[in-house]
């Protein structure tokens, strides 16, 4: 299981996702370019000292990321039809999250192996990307028996 973040824009969100990944022992792929300097203090503060415990791979662009993936790449999107709780995850799935402001371009969406959404109430639009990552990753790890003991 891996988390992938497409061109992150907010350092605190990326830091929180790195911390999440460290806590669950999940590798992270960052698809460049980032909308901030990777050494940003806000990212480090959000990730705290957990960042040193993350297997992190930075990819120059979508093409280099996609070429490196052996498992299915599953896009988490508020626009997807399939719900995460109705989906059967595999141990080598990659959960992809888009930019905070724009998600992913159609070319990236079309190149994914599936798109999933987290069910939300009718009066709200979306979750914070790091919160969504926690919910989706928790469900995927639970289903595949990969939650830490």
pLDDT, tens digit, 9 for 90 and up, residues 5-14: 999 999 889 9
Query: Is residue 98 situated within a structural domain?
Result: yes
Per-residue pLDDT band at 72 (split at 50, 70, 90): very high
CA distances (Å), 46 to each of 49, 51, 76, 108, 148, in order?
9, 9, 22, 28, 22
Q: Is the pLDDT of residue 37 over 70?
A: yes
Query: Is residue 102 situated within a structural domain?
Result: yes
Overall number of domains in the chain: 1
pLDDT, tens digit, 9 for 90 and up, residues 98-127: 999 999 999 999 999 999 999 998 888 889
Query: Is residue 149 situated within a structural domain?
Result: no
Query: Is residue 100 situated within a structural domain?
Result: yes
Residue 84 confidence (pLDDT)? 96
Q: What is the mean pLDDT of residues 84-111?
A: 96
Query: Is residue 22 situated within a structural domain?
Result: yes
What CATH number should be reported for the domain holding residue 48?
Answer: 3.40.1280.10
Q: What is the DSSP string of the chain?
A: -EEEEES---HHHHHHHHHHHHHHT-EEEEESPPSS-TT-HHHHHHHGGGGGG--EEEESSHHHHHHT--S-EEEE-TT-SEEGGGS---TT-EEEE-BTTTB--HHHHHHSSEEEE----TT-----HHHHHHHHHHHHHHHHT-S--
Query: Is residue 79 situated within a structural domain?
Result: yes
Query: Is residue 47 situated within a structural domain?
Result: yes
Please, what is the average pLDDT of the chain?
A: 91
Which domain, by its residues, includes 112?
2-144
Q: Is the pLDDT of residue 42 over 90?
A: no
Query: Is residue 133 situated within a structural domain?
Result: yes
């Amino acid at each position: 299981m891996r988390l992938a973040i497409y061109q992150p824009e907010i350092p605190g969100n990326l830091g929180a996702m790195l911390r999440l990944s460290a806590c669950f022992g999940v590798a992270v792929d960052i698809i460049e370019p980032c909308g901030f300097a990777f050494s940003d203090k806000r990212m480090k503060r959000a990730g705290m000292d957990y960042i040193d415990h993350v297997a992190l791979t930075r990819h120059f662009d979508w093409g280099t990321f996609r070429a490196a993936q052996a498992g299915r790449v599953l896009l988490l999107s508020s626009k997807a039809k399939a719900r995460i709780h109705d989906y059967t995850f595999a141990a080598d799935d990659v959960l992809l999250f888009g930019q905070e402001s724009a998600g992913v371009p159609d070319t990236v969406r079309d190149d994914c192996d599936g798109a999933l959404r987290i069910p939300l109430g009718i009066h709200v639009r979306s979750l914070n990307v790091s919160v969504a990552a926690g919910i989706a990753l928790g469900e995927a790890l639970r289903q595949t028996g990969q939650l830490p003991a």
